[in-house]
Amino acid sequence: MKFCNSIPLDIYMSLEKKIIEDLKEATKKGDKLRMETLRSIRASIIEFNKSGLNREMNEDDEIKLLQNLAKKRKDSIEMFEKGNRFDLADREKSELEIIKSYLPQELSEDDIRHIIKKIIVESGAKDLKDLGRVMSIAMKEMKGRADGQIVQNIVRSLLG
């Protein structure tokens, strides 16, 4: 039996299969917002599959794809709120929550701070000149579980 991140592959369901199953369920329930959000995720998966990489989407690709979709929603929320279009911002927030439900659970700021402190000690980082090195290690270790901006702010505060 093959394993993917310590989950047997016969138990692990790819993002694409999970989205298709959830889309069927949302369609049956008539949940329009969820259907539209899942269709946008599915469209991004199809786009990846047709990108010419000639390989299956792996877990890292799935996380990157979802993070990109989440970032687009966050940017839209910010723009809509600046334009006093709170109705559209609320819709984007709802879509963002649906997308986040497919991402690994985010770490708390305390957990992020703890991990970064450990990385700083292990890497021998001393000041802000080491920011790039610490960020690189931190983002690999917390892949998909921490917002890069939060990580960077914490690294800066600890090195600065």
CATH 1.10.240.10 for the 109-159 domain, yes or no: no
> Alpha-carbon dihedral of residues 86, 92, 95, 101, nearest 10 degrees?
-90
Spatial neighbors of 45 by CB under 8 A, at least 6 apart, are 15, 16, 19, 57, 65
Indicate whether 154 pLDDT > 90: yes
Rounded (10°) angle between helices 15-29 and 32-49: 150
Average pLDDT over residues 72-94: 96
| List of residues 6+ apart from 21 with CB closer than 8 A | 13
pLDDT at 6: 42
Q: Residue 148: is its pLDDT beyond 90?
A: no
Q: What is the chain's mean pLDDT, rounded?
A: 89
What are the b/e assignments for 3-28, b being 16+ CB within 10 Å?
A: eeeeeeeeeeebbbeebeebbeebee
Residue-wise pLDDT tens digits, 21-42? 999 999 999 999 999 999 999 9
Higher-confidence residue: 8 or 56?
56
Q: Domain spanning 13-100 has what CATH number?
A: 1.10.1510.10
Residues of the chain with CATH 1.10.1510.10: 13-100
Question: What is the location of CATH 1.10.10.410 in the chain?
Answer: 109-159
